[in-house]
Amino acid sequence: MDALRGACIIGQSGGPTSVINASAYGVIRTALDNPNITRVLGAAHGIKGVLNDELYDMALEDASELELLMHTPSSALGSCRYKLKDSSVDDSDYRRILEIFKKYNVRYFFYNGGNDSMDTCNKISKYMLQVGYECKIMGVPKTVDNDLWGTDHCPGFPSAAKYVATSIMELYHDARVYDTPMVCIVEIMGRHAGWLAGSAAIATYLGQGPDLIYLPEVAFDINKFLSDVERLYYDTGKVLVAVSEGIHDESGKLIAEYGAENAPVDSFGHKQLGGLASTLVNMVKNRMGSIKIRGIELSLLQRCAAHCASETDIAESFMAGKAAVDLATCGVTDKMVGFERTYDKLGNYVCNIKLMDLEKVANAEKKVPREWINAEGNGLTQDYLDYVLPLISGTPKLTYENGMPRFAKLKKILAKK
């Protein structure tokens, strides 16, 4: 059978990571070099770029700039959070996508994102199968949340984990520099899954990390938390806490909402800003009085810190993108590329490609196993450490200019029709 010949589209969607562009580069470089792919088109802002007929011609980019994508944070092609309706309810978007696919003779579609993006990818794949338009459709995973089903881990998570663990280890040293007592609460991303907040345990494992770590996988007991903080404060004088933004009480109510609820309106007519960290800070103050306490939100920093990425993650992210193209041009479709972990004879970590049905990935979420969290629900076990440590190894060799990382500058020239 002859290989399918035609153009490909690569799109990025959802919250960016510091290595999602390494996956995009894996797709773009491999596709540019593949004789069956006649044209490589980058969708501006994910699926919206397809709907708007805004497609960049990736062959017109300088090869050296494209290569810098390996170390450039955020989604270089632009991202979106656009949800496709079910085609049975409203198929106008799908008909438009098909129209664009036909216009450019698109026979390969690669979508680089997390859960919602895999949902988009799955819906497009199913629609094309249904209408009988031949197009190989592959999902390329990314998410700092690490919550995609069926894969050992997700590109983007290891680098964010490395940044969180490194930053919190540095904070550990800074926060305890005076001989006066203090509490410091660090808020980490993760709405439903605590994989990323869990990475703070790496610093604890190295003897320089949080005393308490809370994930959304275990219902958060406010009184237990306050007692733990109080006990540590009076025992040791120093309390460092890492907490997932998504922690909630037994009833499922977000702890962050406790603050929002009570937050009164300021003179501008707005509720005072204040995320989970400041809510917890206020709870501790309420219990313990006016102690020295600080809340720190790692915010966007944790998902774009390319300067502190994991080399393992970068290499694997590229590999995922490359595998998507290699496999699609061999006829594979309707799958997401995932990872399977093995260990070689010397016990060294090895990461292999595996394939998962888009259908399954689109509708599932992977959480930290309860048994990887300690019995008290305020720390991680050795199982989690064994899982995460191989992923954060290796320091990337960034290109520097003026003492600063040199990131890719794409020309983004729109493809001719």
Q: Catalytic positions, please?
A: 145
Q: Which is nearer to a second copy, 135 or 410 (CB)?
A: 410
Place of tokens 């399954």: 360
315 binds a second copy (CB under 8 A): no
For residue 44, what are the CA distances in angstroms to 57, 281, 291? 11, 41, 49
Query: Cβ distance 296 to 186 under 8 Å?
Result: yes
- Alpha carbon of 386 to those of 202, 391, 403: distances in Å? 10, 10, 35
**Least CB distance from residue 37 to a second copy, whole Å?**
26
Residue 144 or 373: the one with the smaller Cβ distance to a second copy is 144
Site for a second copy in 120-139 (CB under 8 A): none
The binding track of 244-263 with respect to a second copy, each residue x by CB under 8 A or -, is ---------------x--xx
Direct distance between the N- and C-terminal alpha carbons of the chain, in angstroms, rounded to an integer:
29
178 versus 234: smaller Cβ distance to a second copy: 178
Q: Which of 343, 404, 411, 413 binds a second copy (CB under 8 A)?
A: 404
As beta bridge partners, residue 353 has: 339
**Region 279-308 residues binding a second copy, contact defined as CB under 8 A:** 281-283, 285-286, 294-301, 303-308
Complex with a second copy: residue 15 or 139, whichever CB lies closer: 15
Among 272, 342, 352, 382, binds a second copy (CB under 8 A): 272
Q: How far is the CB of 212 from a second copy (least distance, A)?
A: 18
For residue 184, give the nearest of 171, 203, 195 by alpha carbon. Answer: 171
* Type of residue numbered 186: V
Closest approach, Cβ 307 to a second copy, in A, equals: 5
- Residues within window 340-399 making contact with a second copy, judged by CB under 8 A: 389, 392-395, 398
Q: Which tokens go with 244? A: 């997932």
Q: Closer CB to a second copy, residue 347 or residue 403?
A: 403
Nearest to 110 by CA among 132, 81, 77, 64: 77
C-alpha triplet 21, 327, 40: angle, nearest 5°? 50
Q: How far is the CB of 58 from a second copy (least distance, A)?
A: 18
Q: Show the tokens assigned to 178.
A: 């005076």
Q: Is residue 223 a contact residue for a second copy (CB under 8 A)? A: no
Inter-CA distances, 358 with 243, 327, 364, 368, Å? 31, 15, 10, 21
Q: In the chain, what is the greatest distance between 2 CA atoms, to the nearest angstrom?
A: 75
Q: Taken in order 189, 216, 169, 141, is the CA torsion positive or negative?
A: negative
Residue of 2, 179, 250, 344 interacting with a second copy (CB under 8 A):
179
Is residue 19 at the binding interface for a second copy, with CB under 8 A as the rule?
Answer: no
Report if residue 48 touches a second copy, rule: CB under 8 A.
yes
Could you say which residues in the range 49-78 bind a second copy, by CB under 8 A? 72-75, 78
270 interacts with a second copy by CB under 8 A: yes
